[in-house]
């Protein structure tokens, strides 16, 4: 077991034991959140601090023998990340045994016979993980988690008793504890102002903001790794009930079934289980009189970036409740409700039988819907514990047997010592680290071997695809064409919920080859820990005193800005963040050698946030003064680097002699909602130096360039001339085939580097980091 955060001191325990005989010990009853806090956060729309939330769980654990609280580790900003474990006294007394049962059901190679399996299912308990607070502005989640903990631990009802008997409930009240207090403080600062409850002008996760929920297959952030190492890999939850909030103008509540497309390596038994459970949760909530409860709308199950459990024999029960304005109530009239994918919130339909009539929507509604959905999920699952455990074991068994669609194995050759990829050794180490973190068994060939007529060097890594987490390995190692979705037959593309690709070898710049005959695994050794990664340093950039990078930080929080900061911190690139005011002050050339504008929509760069939405110091964008100072910086010898969506703003603001010719195309002609594309790199350029001549880049609509009126433009990288799309979905790839993707435009004594691709995409596209790093170095 992880170290217990609160253990009742022995003496207190003895005193409590003596006092327990006296009826006056009523005060020892587990406290409700409002009792422990001294106020009811839901009724008063007052948000507790992270310290208060932890104190509540500590008080509950101290007073209830059905609750224990553990610290999983420390967050990015060193806050405790905690988990409550709630079940009957009998179940809590045999946690080690239950964990052992889970581990064996998760790996049927450790089960000798059907009789043994049946006995494990009999002894086991259903493990349900409830997470909240991944997105800190979705303030209802942690409050619902506190109330849910109290309900399950204390209610004398038949449903709660059955949940305690059949379920081991794990609650992580805030996946991102660092965001709790800043959002609370921002909310309090907006009370009584015109911008009550508006979005804070900062990322609520120090580095990645909302993208913390896009990290479930790359594991770059501390919080993700803590959850994976200390919860998912330790407890193997059969159900992950993930509390979130959505737009205030859609349905009141969403729970699966998921929309298509479903990623093809998610076991069909899991998808069917989510469909079955979700529709019954909807039924139960309707029975309680809750309106606006939708299934099969808006959210697809394509990307492993949002779901760890789908590739680890569990079901993700995403719950999305409509937001208000942080903790402040809103009024929504019916005609303000907005249709989304497979849902019109104003109209009854099979997947949304009773529309919400509109009106006031407040924190009590949000928390009430969350509690209602969570109790329904737990109650239904508890009544069929054996079915869920049998399903769990069967999914794991099917993976161990291997799917017909899978190869026998994947081989990851070691990085070539003198190859061109400068981050090659890091890429291979990173790929093996990710696979191991995801629970994938990896072997290392101690001598060369041959398979399928190919020979592989000693030191190659091998993933035998007969193993419990084969579906995770297959999902991230195989290139996945996204099944095109159209709004109607022959109509325009239907946008995916998020991006369409997730192939790690392409992202990292590593190689993984499928082989269809069994490799000689007896001659290989298991990789226990990932191979040591070389130091993350870039010659001429990391901690280089001659370099100082300015990084634009908008007041409309930008995850791409945060990822860039994460990258710079990870590789010790010297930088500081600059706001609109910093740029307006000018004199940039005295402090900076390069300036980076992350991928931000042109309208946000130009206009920023509205003064109706935030206090004046956070309103506005980059106007003529900012642009003039950026021009002075470049013309004086600085390097301006524009990433992805920001290139259009920079081209126009500085009147560069180039254009992005994708701008004029409709989505019928060209559409790339996050895909991996081939690149041809000119390694003779300063920015392409040291790169392989062929690589893959991340394209999210992005840009393709041509020079205007004979202007100067050096091409660093082009989109591949053929087979541009490598994984995901691109409509109209012929528009970009062979066209410039990364260019350098001289301006005065300096230069502007325009990236049509996203070289540091979500901290995942290691294969193209060198293009960004090289563009920041000083030229000799």
- Write the Ramachandran bin of 644: left for phi over 0, alpha for psi from -120 to 50, otherwise beta: left
CB of 210 to Zn ion, least distance (A): 7
225: number of Cβ within 10 Å: 15
Q: Which of residues 383-412 bind Zn ion (CB under 5 A)?
A: none
Measured from the CB atom, is 136 or 593 closer to Zn ion?
A: 136
CB of 316 to Zn ion, least distance (A): 13
Q: Which of residues 601-620 bind Zn ion (CB under 5 A)?
A: none
At 378, is the secondary structure helix, strand, or coil?
helix
Measured from the CB atom, is 135 or 433 closer to Zn ion?
A: 135
What is the 8-class DSSP label of residue 102? H
CB of 543 to Zn ion, least distance (A): 36
Rounded distance between C-alpha atoms, residue 303 and residue 499, angstroms: 7
Give the range of 243-251, 576-584, 707-715, 769-777 binding Zn ion by CB under 5 A: 243-251
Query: Residue 321 is inside which H or E element, if any?
Result: strand 315-322
CA dihedral 393, 399, 405, 411 (to 10 degrees): 170
* Interaction of residue 306 with Zn ion, rule CB under 5 A: no
At 316, is the secondary structure helix, strand, or coil?
strand
Measured from the CB atom, is 293 or 662 closer to Zn ion?
A: 293
What is the 8-class DSSP label of residue 671? B
Give the range of 87-95, 136-144, 537-545, 676-684 binding Zn ion by CB under 5 A: 136-144
CB of 245 to Zn ion, least distance (A): 6
* Maximum pairwise Cα distance, the chain: 93
CB of 71 to Zn ion, least distance (A): 24
Measured from the CB atom, is 107 or 138 closer to Zn ion?
A: 138
| Distance spanning both ends of the chain, measured CA to CA | 56
363's tokens: 């924190």
Give the range of 34-42, 134-142, 327-335, 677-685 binding Zn ion by CB under 5 A: 134-142
Give the range of 237-245, 470-478, 481-489, 586-594 binding Zn ion by CB under 5 A: 237-245
Burial of 2 (0-12, 13-18, 19+ CB in 10 A): middle
Measured from the CB atom, is 246 or 629 closer to Zn ion?
A: 246
Measured from the CB atom, is 249 or 542 closer to Zn ion?
A: 249
440: Cβ contacts below 8 Å, ≥ 6 apart? 463, 467, 469, 470, 472, 473
CB of 135 to Zn ion, least distance (A): 4
CB of 137 to Zn ion, least distance (A): 8
Give the range of 52-60, 89-97, 132-140, 565-573 binding Zn ion by CB under 5 A: 132-140
CB of 138 to Zn ion, least distance (A): 5
Asked if residues 772 and 759 have their Cβ atoms less than 8 Å apart, the reply is yes
CB of 195 to Zn ion, least distance (A): 21
CB of 320 to Zn ion, least distance (A): 7
Measured from the CB atom, is 212 or 703 closer to Zn ion?
A: 212
Give the range of 137-145, 367-375, 401-409, 740-748 binding Zn ion by CB under 5 A: 137-145
Q: Which of residues 666-695 bind Zn ion (CB under 5 A)?
A: none
Helix residue ranges per DSSP H, 64-171: 89-92, 95-106, 114-123, 140-154, 158-166
Burial pattern 459-497, b for ≥16 Cβ within 10 A else e, equals bbbbbbbbbbbbbbbbbbbbbbebeebeeeeeeebeebb
Question: Going along 613-662, which residue ranges are E strands?
Answer: 639-643, 658-660
Give the range of 89-97, 138-146, 668-676, 683-691 binding Zn ion by CB under 5 A: 138-146
Measured from the CB atom, is 75 or 471 closer to Zn ion?
A: 75
Measured from the CB atom, is 125 or 306 closer to Zn ion?
A: 306
Q: How many CA atoms lie within 13 A of 643 on its CB side?
A: 28
Burial pattern 655-682, b for ≥16 Cβ within 10 A else e, equals ebbbbbbbeeeeeeebbbbbbbbbbbbb
Q: Give the helix, strand, coil percentages of the chain, each rounded to 5.
A: 35, 20, 45
Rounded distance between C-alpha atoms, residue 209 and residue 560, angstroms: 9
Give the range of 130-138, 283-291, 653-661, 677-685 binding Zn ion by CB under 5 A: 130-138
Rounded distance between C-alpha atoms, residue 243 and residue 262, angstroms: 21
Measured from the CB atom, is 343 or 714 closer to Zn ion?
A: 343
Asked if residues 292 and 332 have their Cβ atoms less than 8 Å apart, the reply is no
Query: Residue 569 is inside which H or E element, if any?
Result: helix 559-570
Give the range of 241-249, 265-273, 304-312, 415-423 binding Zn ion by CB under 5 A: 241-249
CB of 471 to Zn ion, least distance (A): 25
Measured from the CB atom, is 135 or 214 closer to Zn ion?
A: 135
* Interaction of residue 222 with Zn ion, rule CB under 5 A: no
Rounded distance between C-alpha atoms, residue 375 and residue 122, angstroms: 23
Give the range of 26-34, 238-246, 483-491, 614-622 binding Zn ion by CB under 5 A: 238-246
- Residue nearest Zn ion, Cβ-based: 244
Measured from the CB atom, is 255 or 515 closer to Zn ion?
A: 255
CB of 524 to Zn ion, least distance (A): 41
606's tokens: 């130009």
Measured from the CB atom, is 176 or 372 closer to Zn ion?
A: 176
Measured from the CB atom, is 302 or 392 closer to Zn ion?
A: 302
At 699, is the secondary structure helix, strand, or coil?
strand
Give the range of 71-79, 131-139, 169-177, 373-381 binding Zn ion by CB under 5 A: 131-139
Measured from the CB atom, is 283 or 497 closer to Zn ion?
A: 497
CB of 131 to Zn ion, least distance (A): 10
Residues contacting Zn ion: total by CB under 5 A: 3
431's tokens: 């790929």
Query: Residue 584 is inside which H or E element, if any?
Result: helix 580-585
Residue of 125, 230, 244, 385 interacting with Zn ion (CB under 5 A): 244
Asked if residues 676 and 728 have their Cβ atoms less than 8 Å apart, the reply is yes
* Inter-axis angle of helices 385-401 and 363-383, nearest 10: 80
Letters for 55-74 (x = contact with Zn ion by CB under 5 A, - = none) are --------------------
CB of 205 to Zn ion, least distance (A): 11
CB of 483 to Zn ion, least distance (A): 25
Rounded distance between C-alpha atoms, residue 350 and residue 456, angstroms: 54
Measured from the CB atom, is 108 or 177 closer to Zn ion?
A: 177
Residues in the chain: 780
Give the range of 18-26, 242-250, 252-260, 379-387 binding Zn ion by CB under 5 A: 242-250
Which residues on neighbouring strands pair with residue 678, listed in sequence order? 696
* Interaction of residue 135 with Zn ion, rule CB under 5 A: yes
Measured from the CB atom, is 209 or 598 closer to Zn ion?
A: 209
Q: Which residues bind to Zn ion, rule: CB under 5 A?
A: 135, 138, 244
């Amino acid at each position: 077991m992880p170290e217990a955060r609160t253990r009742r001191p022995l003496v207190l325990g003895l005193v409590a034991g003596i006092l327990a005989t006296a009826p006056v010990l009523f005060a020892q009853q587990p406290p409700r959140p409002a009792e422990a806090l001294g106020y009811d956060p839901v009724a008063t729309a007052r948000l507790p601090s992270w310290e208060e939330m932890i104190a509540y769980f500590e008080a509950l654990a101290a007073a209830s023998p059905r609750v224990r609280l553990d610290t999983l580790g420390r967050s990015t900003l060193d806050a405790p990340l905690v988990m409550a474990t709630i079940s009957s006294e009998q179940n809590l007394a045999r946690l080690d045994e239950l964990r052992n049962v889970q581990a064996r059901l998760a790996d049927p190679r450790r089960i000798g016979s059907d009789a043994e399996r049946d006995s494990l299912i009999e002894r086991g308990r259903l493990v349900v993980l409830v997470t909240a607070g991944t997105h800190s502005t979705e303030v209802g989640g942690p409050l619902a988690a506190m109330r849910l903990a109290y309900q399950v631990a204390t209610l004398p009802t038949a449903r709660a008793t059955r949940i305690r008997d059949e379920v081991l409930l794990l609650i992580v009240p805030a996946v991102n504890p660092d965001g709790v207090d800043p959002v609370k403080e921002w909310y309090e600062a907006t009370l009584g102002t015109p911008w009550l409850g508006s979005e804070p002008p900062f990322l609520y996760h120090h580095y990645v903001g909302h993208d913390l929920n896009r990290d479930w297959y790359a594991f770059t952030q501390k919080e993700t790794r803590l959850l994976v190492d200390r919860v998912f890999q330790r407890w193997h939850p059969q159900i992950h009930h993930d509390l979130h909030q959505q737009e205030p103008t859609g349905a009141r509540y969403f729970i699966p079934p998921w929309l298509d497309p479903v990623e093809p390596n998610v076991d069909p038994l899991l998808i069917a289980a989510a469909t079955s459970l979700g529709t019954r949760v909807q039924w139960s909530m309707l029975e309680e009189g809750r309106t606006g409860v939708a299934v099969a709308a808006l959210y697809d199950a394509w990307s492993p970036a949002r779901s760890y459990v789908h590739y680890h024999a569990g079901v993700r029960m995403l719950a999305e409740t409509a937001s208000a304005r942080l903790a402040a109530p809103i009024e929504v009239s019916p005609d303000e409700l907005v249709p989304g994918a497979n849902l019109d919130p104003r109209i009854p339909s099979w997947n949304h039988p009773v529309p919400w009539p509109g009106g006031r929507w407040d924190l009590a509604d949000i928390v009430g819907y969350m509690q209602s959905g969570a109790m329904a999920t737990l109650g239904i699952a508890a009544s069929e514990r054996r079915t869920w455990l049998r399903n769990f074991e069967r999914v794991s068994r099917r993976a161990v047997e291997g799917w017909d669609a899978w190869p026998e194995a994947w081989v990851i050759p070691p990085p070539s010592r003198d190859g061109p990829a400068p981050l090659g050794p890091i890429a291979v180490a990173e790929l093996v680290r990710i696979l191991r973190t995801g629970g994938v068994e990896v072997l290392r060939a101690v001598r060369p071997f041959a398979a399928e007529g190919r020979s592989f060097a000693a030191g190659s890594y091998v993933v035998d695809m007969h193993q419990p987490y084969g579906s995770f390995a297959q999902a991230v190692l195989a290139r996945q064409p996204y099944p095109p979705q159209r709004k109607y037959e022959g109509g325009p593309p239907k946008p995916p919920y998020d991006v369409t690709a997730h192939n790690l070898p392409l992202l990292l710049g590593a190689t993984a080859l499928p082989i269809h005959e069994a490799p000689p695994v007896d001659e290989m050794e298991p990789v226990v820990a990932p191979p040591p990664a070389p130091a993350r340093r870039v010659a001429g950039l990391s901690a280089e005193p001659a370099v100082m990078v300015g990084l634009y930080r908008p007041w409309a929080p930008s995850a791409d800005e945060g990822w860039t900061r994460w990258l710079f911190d990870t590789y010790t690139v010297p930088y500081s963040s600059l706001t609109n005011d910093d740029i307006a002050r000018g004199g940039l050339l005295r402090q900076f050698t390069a300036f980076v504008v992350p991928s931000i929509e042109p309208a946000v760069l130009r206009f920023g946030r509205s003064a109706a939405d935030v206090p004046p110091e956070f309103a506005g964008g980059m106007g003529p003064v900012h642009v003039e100072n950026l021009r002075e910086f470049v013309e004086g010898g600085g390097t301006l680097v524009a990433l992805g969506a920001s290139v259009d703003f920079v081209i126009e603001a500085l009147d560069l002699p180039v254009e992005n010719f994708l701008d004029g195309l409709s989505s019928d002609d060209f559409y790339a909602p996050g895909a991996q594309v081939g690149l041809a790199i000119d390694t003779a350029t300063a920015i392409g130096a040291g790169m392989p001549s062929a690589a893959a880049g991340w394209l999210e609509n992005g840009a393709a360039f041509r020079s205007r009126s004979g202007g100067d433009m050096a091409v660093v990288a082009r989109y591949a001339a053929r087979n541009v799309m490598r994984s995901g979905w691109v409509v109209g790839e012929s528009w970009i085939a062979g066209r410039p993707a990364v260019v350098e435009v001289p301006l005065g004594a300096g230069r502007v580097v325009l990236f049509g691709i996203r070289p540091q995409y979500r901290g995942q596209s290691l294969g193209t980091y060198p293009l960004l790093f090289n563009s920041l170095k000083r030229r000799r």
